[in-house]
């Protein structure tokens, strides 16, 4: 039987996949921000490090919530995770360019 993307399990797998991609993007941003802080040591970079750490914690906790909660996920959760993924991809691209 094919996995229906909008079934309960399909949404969980999609949500976890999106959060894993977000973790990868945030890890890349965190690496770049720490590398930048070691070179220039300004407060703005510390703020970026905390920003990335908090979003990283959110993504890790989201995966735990998805795996261990019996509450069904709805498609709007997928939309919000996708928007976050797009925003992080844009931020990573801008960070890599400059």
3-state helix, strand, coil in the chain (%, to 5): 85, 0, 15
Per-residue pLDDT of 53-96, as tens digits, reads 999 999 999 999 999 998 888 888 899 999 999 999 999 999 99
Q: For position 9, what pLDDT does the model report?
A: 83
CB 50 within 8 Å of CB 44: no
Closest CA to 12 of 72, 91, 86: 72
* pTM confidence score: 0.88
- Tokens matching residue 2: 């094919």
Compute the radius of gyration of the chain from its Cα atoms. 16
């Amino acid at each position: 039987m094919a996995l229906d993307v909008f079934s309960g399990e399909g949404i969980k797998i999609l949500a976890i996949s999106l959060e894993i991609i977000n973790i990868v993007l945030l890890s890349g941003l965190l690496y770049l921000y720490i590398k930048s802080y070691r070179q220039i040591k300004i407060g703005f970079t510390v703020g970026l490090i905390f920003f990335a750490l908090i979003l990283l914690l959110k993504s890790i906790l989201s995966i735990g919530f998805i795996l261990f909660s019996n509450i069904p996920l709805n498609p709007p959760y997928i939309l919000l995770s996708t928007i976050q993924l797009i925003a992080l991809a844009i931020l990573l691209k801008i960070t890599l360019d400059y």
